[in-house]
Amino acid sequence: MGKIEGIKDIRADIDLNEVTFSGEQVDYEKVKQAVEEIGYQYGGKK
């Protein structure tokens, strides 16, 4: 995900099995693809 344009900060919470990030003008379709490519489920934008 760090290679996706616009993402500035990524945080992973192993206990919650969740990754959050911040950024501007992020392409959420690219985020979804990156998450699913490594075998996880994309929970959508919150």
Q: How many domains does the chain have?
A: 1
pLDDT at position 2: 77
What is the pLDDT at residue 33? 92
- Please state the φ and ψ torsions of residue 43, each to the nearest 5 degrees: -90, -5
Segments forming the whole domain that contains residue 25: 7-37
Q: What is the mean pLDDT of residues 13-24?
A: 90
| Alpha-carbon torsion, ordered 11, 15, 17, 20, to 10 deg | -20
pTM (global) more than 0.85:
no
Q: Is residue 32 part of a domain?
A: yes
- Position 45 in a domain: no
Domain assignment present for residue 29? The answer is yes
In this prediction, residue 1 has a pLDDT band, given cuts at 50, 70 and 90, of confident
- Residue 25, pLDDT > 90, answer yes
